Structure 1
Amino acid sequence: MKQLHQQITTRLSTNSTDRLSVIFIKKLLLFGWLQAISCIFPVIIFLSLALSSWASGYIPRYDLLLIICILAQFIMYKTGLETKDEVYVITMFHVLGLIMELHKVHHGSWSYPEAAYSKFFGVPLYSGFMYASVGSYICQAWRNLQLRTLRWPNKLLAITIGAAIYLNFITNAFLPDVRLYIAIALIIIFWRTKFSFTLGESTHKIFAILSFILIGFFIWLAENIATFLGAWRYAYQHNGWQMVEWHKITSWSLLVIVSIIIVGQLKIFKKEVF
């Protein structure tokens, strides 16, 4: 895999003799490739969701998905696609995701209708890996695109707003949903923040707020696919599949922000280039 990656990045490298149109196409393809290899774990999960129903007669589907996710993480670590630190981060996302799943399923936000041995209080253990896949993508993209932050907010502000987002996901079942106020605070806190990423020998920048929204939108698209494949169901999908509500884009964008804050603060703690 590493050799293939090296070959592709070499072929897509630009030089001074290339025309502007060729440079643009090469950079676009390189960006797409780097995004694709950053999504290996999410892709494994979606392929498993699509194919696992075929094995439902031999092993409960949710149990099979759990085994596949564990094996995928083991192989990715052993082949060097993920580092030990990244595995720790992904495990953290898995635990935080399971806590949220237990809470949301208990309050009827969505459900997992199929039976499984690895299902506790209505929540299959594989579900935490769907949150972990977001963490995996962020870790991989951070490394593959050589992400750097510009004008990152004060550590206390970043941690506080990240905690507020996560707690609101939990408390909005019995307290008023304050995501609108959180979103306003986020815009204020991250207004000047940018991410820089590297494509070949050139560096590009994007506003952090825009990147949060774009990633949230693409995860929302993925969620539509996941619910269509029966990964879980919202209450309004029990009588037949329907498109996931648009407001979920904000939920996923907020979750992405929490994920990026966690990864970013861990990199600061590890004293990596940030």
Structure 2
Amino acid sequence: MRTPSGPAALTTAERAIDARFRAILARLPRHGPAGWLTEFAVFGLKQAWACVFGGAMLAVILAAHLWYPDDAALARNDVLTLAAVAIQIAMVAGRLETLRELRVVVLFHVVGTVMELFKTHVGSWSYEPDGVLRLGGVPLFSGFMYAAVGSYMVRVNRLFDLRFACYPRRWVTAVVAAAIYANFFTNHYAQDVRWLLIAAVALVFGRCVMQFRIFRFRWRMPLLLAFVLVAFFIWLAENIATWSNAWLYPSQVGGWHPVSAAKLASWFLLMIISVVLVTWISPPQPPDDGRPAASPDADAAQPAPVSRTG
């Protein structure tokens, strides 16, 4: 597992954790079923680590729903906001997130809160009306849920040392992202063009292939497939959050039911906005062409093979 340099470099805390785990994993078999199982286990651990902000937020939301008393002096929404602030402070203080990355997370927070204010105003979804830490009908913890997506994006970039072949020009992706963001607002007053925007995303990113390193090997995946997979897991998290009454769609007010699968299109488009914001602090890097990985074990001096998923 090569430790990247530059904007995507591991934080101090992550380098220490990485060194500890690599020392353990290096003793495991490199080939055969055991080798594949090692890669799969490391993939899961890295994904969990990338999701630490979002996972902590989701755990707090679920715990507040299950155990926070309804008659408590401090409103549930305010508790969620204070918990979200504490999580963010802990991320930076624990050096799990750099100040540079914090800037893009804050930007996600602002972009998300603006959309929340509009969407709650037009009735797309709603929050419980309690608490004082809110802007209009939007409790302040809602912005942290968008920030959690931003945190995941910047963390997964460095943890998997992401590289991109045929990445489109950033100004083109910025135009597409701006159109997507605008459509989240204009679709209430004019024709919803989300399917046209999805086609534009497919056209712009269709040739792009993402390379990522798990442990010993570098893998390839079409970037569009990565967008779909991340959107799916955000949709699953949304189902947990709405079940916990963090917010509700109009059709769920009379009784909870799973969020429509049609929302996957919205999350897919949100992924594009997320990716574009992250690329402005961490520009997409080209493939490393199988250069040797920096690893403590002797075999790492050999070029890392590239495998294709599936």
**Radius of gyration: which is bigger?**
2
Matched, 1:33 2:45: yes
The one-letter amino acid of 1:104's match is K
Candidates 118, 125, 131, aligned match of 2:133: 118
Counterpart CA distance in 1 for 2:31 and 2:174 is: 45
Candidates 185, 188, 193, aligned match of 1:173: 188
2:39–2:216 Cα contact (<8 Å) kept: no
Counterpart CA distance in 2 for 1:256 and 1:186 is: 11
Matched, 1:11 2:15: no
1:227–1:233 Cα contact (<8 Å) kept: yes
Give structure 1 stretches of 5+ with no counterpart: none
Counterpart CA distance in 2 for 1:4 and 1:155 is: 33
Q: How far apart are 1:7 and its partner, in Å?
A: 2.5
Counterpart CA distance in 2 for 1:12 and 1:164 is: 45
Counterpart CA distance in 2 for 1:19 and 1:189 is: 37
TM-score, reference length from structure 2: 0.83
Matched, 1:75 2:75: no
Candidates 60, 63, 71, aligned match of 2:75: 60
Give structure 2 stretches of 5+ with no counterpart: 1-12, 287-310
Q: How far apart are 1:155 and its partner, in Å?
A: 2.1
Counterpart CA distance in 1 for 2:246 and 2:146 is: 13
CA gap of 1:60–1:207, structure 2 versus 1, over 3 A, is same
1:9–1:30 Cα contact (<8 Å) kept: no
Query: What fraction of aligned residue pairs are identical, expressed as a percent?
Result: 35
Counterpart CA distance in 1 for 2:171 and 2:64 is: 43
Paired residues for 1:212-223 under 5 Å: 212-223=227-238
Paired residues for 1:89-238 under 5 Å: 89-238=104-253
Counterpart CA distance in 1 for 2:221 and 2:27 is: 21
For structure 1, which segment, 20-29 or 56-65, has the greater mean C-alpha deviation from structure 2 after superposition? Answer: 56-65
The one-letter amino acid of 2:101's match is E
Candidates 260, 263, 266, aligned match of 2:275: 260
Q: More helix per residue: 1 or 2?
A: 1
Counterpart CA distance in 2 for 1:108 and 1:9 is: 50
CA gap of 1:266–1:5, structure 2 versus 1, over 3 A, is closer
Tell me which stretches of 4 or more aligned residues in structure 1 moved more than 6 Å. none
RMSD: 1.6
Point out which structure has higher relative CO (alpha carbons under 8 A, 6+ apart): 2
